[in-house]
Every structure is written in C-alpha cells, then in structure tokens.
Amino acid sequence: MFSMPSEARVVEVGPRDGLQNETQRVPTEVKVEFVDRLSRAGLAQIEVSSFVRPMWIPQLADAGEVFGRIARRPGTEYSALVPNLKGLERAVAAGVRSIAVLVSSSETHNRQNLNRGIEESLADVVAVTAAAKERGIRVRCYVSMVFGCPYEGDVPLARVLGIAERLVALGVDEISLGDTVGYATPRQVWERVGAVAGICPVERLALHFHDTRGTALANVLAGLDVGVRTFDGSVGGLGGCPYAPGASGNLATEDLVQMLHGMGIRTGIDLPALVDASAFIERQLRKTLPGRYLRAVTGPCSAPETASGR
C-alpha cells in the first residue's frame, strides 16, 4: 500500500457544473440556499456559477445575483467559470476573486462545447488569465477529455502535455484534469497524471472525474498515489452526462469524502451537512440523484447513519 496524505482538498462544482446541465430552471433563491448549505458543510472551494453569455447557458444567467446573495464563509473559496474578458468583467463586478477557464484536449469536443478550436480557446485563456492576474484573481484551468473523447477516441498524451506546458508558462494557479465522460482507468491516471506532474508541480494539479462507468473512486486512489491532493466533486452526482443519458456523471462529492475520511484523510468537510445540501437540491429538482452514499443514507434502503463517515 502506498503512503497516504493526511489531508486533501475538495472542490464542489455542483452549483455550476451540475446545474448547468439541468434543463429545468432553478430559482435564484434556491441556488443561494444550495450554496449556503454547501458552505456550512465546510468545503474548501465551491464553484458557484458561470459568467458565460446568458444566451448560451440561460440556467446560470443569474450568476451575479447569486454571488451578491450568498453568505461567504471564511475558509471557503467561491469561484466562477469565466470564458472570456467580458465574462471576467461581469465576475469582477460581482466581487469574484477566483475564476476557472477551460480548454479541451480534444479538438472536436472543444468545437462542440466552445464553438472554436483549441488554439482559439487557448488565446482566450491567455487573455483572461493575464487580466485576472493583474487584479490578483486566482485562476484554475479545466482541461477536459484528458483520458479519451467520444468524438476522437484516444487523445494523444503529447497534446495534453503541450496544453499543460502552456498553462504552466501562463502562471495558471491550478490545472484541473478532466475525465469528462468517465473513460479513465487507474492505469491511465498513473500514466497521464504522472506525466503532467513532470511538467506542472503536482500541488497545482486537481482531478475532475466522472463516474459514468464506475471507475471514479479507483481513479481518485491512483491520483492520490501520484501525489494529487485536490479533487472535484458534485454533490449527489448532480450533473448527469450528456453522452450517456441516465448514467451518473460527475463523481458524487459524498462518495469522494466518505472514501477519503474512511482512509483517514481529512477534508474539513462535515459529511452529514454535505448530505443535507445534496438532499435539499434533490428535493428542489424533484429528481433522484445517483450518488451512492446519498442513496445509502437517505433510502430507499437506508440504514441508521453512524459517525464513521465523519
């Protein structure tokens, strides 16, 4: 058994990555309450919303208002996705001090998702990062489809490394490597994340897994072994997966936290409070979320909860 860290950092992406994939409109006050409940669970970082053009993602058109109304807990970093300079201006006006930008390592996915090629997206990343750094704003960059792509199949590792190299040169604070459709296996994590860690200090790497095919937690373990200490999750597995209807998408934050705590790795998160946030958004959306821990403790086959998950 490899040596485990004593602490890990969990980034909650449900309010942004999760809700942007919901077709139903979620009222602003529900989003605010959702974020506030997540704050009470003690998360290190919450990705609250996205300052993308409202015509692209109308579900998150109220980003500024949500930021204006949430109760900020000291110790939690509140971030937003920002696709371009216009989005950055809106984010700055809303008091955002931490942003996320994105690029795909699959040309086809980048065009499908962002309506432009990888090089054009990297140009946006360069412009937004430079402007954010001038203002002292922290920048995370998502690199999606790192472990394979439904359009292109294998994604060359050299392309992933090339993108990572440029992001490091830009001074991006954190790179979140995404398994956007849940293709990754632990072996790939060892190989690919290990290779990226040769370019980028491992403490600046995060991993964003999807559990579409059931390998997300195994991949977290491989990530820990490589030395990564930051992992993304979405409560209840909120977010689905547009490529596999009905399948689970984002790794459920409770499943991640339950495993980390069970292994003696601290996260600062109160697991029952996290379940409370998850159950709240589940009620509001009137749908059953796929997260395994959530299902285990809230039914239909729930057993009395013990303190062991804390």
Annotated active-site positions, please? 241
CB of 208 to Mg ion, least distance (A): 6
Of residues 38, 15, 12, 47, the one with CA closest to residue 273: 38
Please identify, using beta-carbon distances, which residue of 17 and 62 lies nearer to Mg ion: 17
Please identify, using beta-carbon distances, which residue of 252 and 297 lies nearer to Mg ion: 252
Instruction: Count the site residues for Mg ion by CB under 5 A.
Output: 2
CB of 264 to Mg ion, least distance (A): 27
Please identify, using beta-carbon distances, which residue of 212 and 297 lies nearer to Mg ion: 212
Inter-CA distances, 250 with 1, 19, 35, 128, 208, Å: 27, 12, 17, 26, 8
Contact indicator for 128, 101 with CB cutoff of 8 Å: yes
Dihedral sign (CA 13, 14, 19, 21): positive
> What gap in Å lies between CA 97 and CA 115, rounded to an integer?
27
Helix (H) or strand (E) holding 114: helix 107-114
Please identify, using beta-carbon distances, which residue of 257 and 297 lies nearer to Mg ion: 257
HSE-up of residue 51 (Cα within 13 Å, Cβ side): 25
Binding mask 6-35 for Mg ion (x = CB under 5 A): -----------x------------------
Binding status of residue 176 toward Mg ion by CB under 5 A: no
Binding status of residue 110 toward Mg ion by CB under 5 A: no
Binding status of residue 248 toward Mg ion by CB under 5 A: no
CB of 180 to Mg ion, least distance (A): 6
Contact indicator for 184, 220 with CB cutoff of 8 Å: no
CB of 308 to Mg ion, least distance (A): 28
Binding status of residue 250 toward Mg ion by CB under 5 A: yes
Question: Which residue ranges make up the site for Mg ion (CB under 5 A)?
Answer: 17, 250
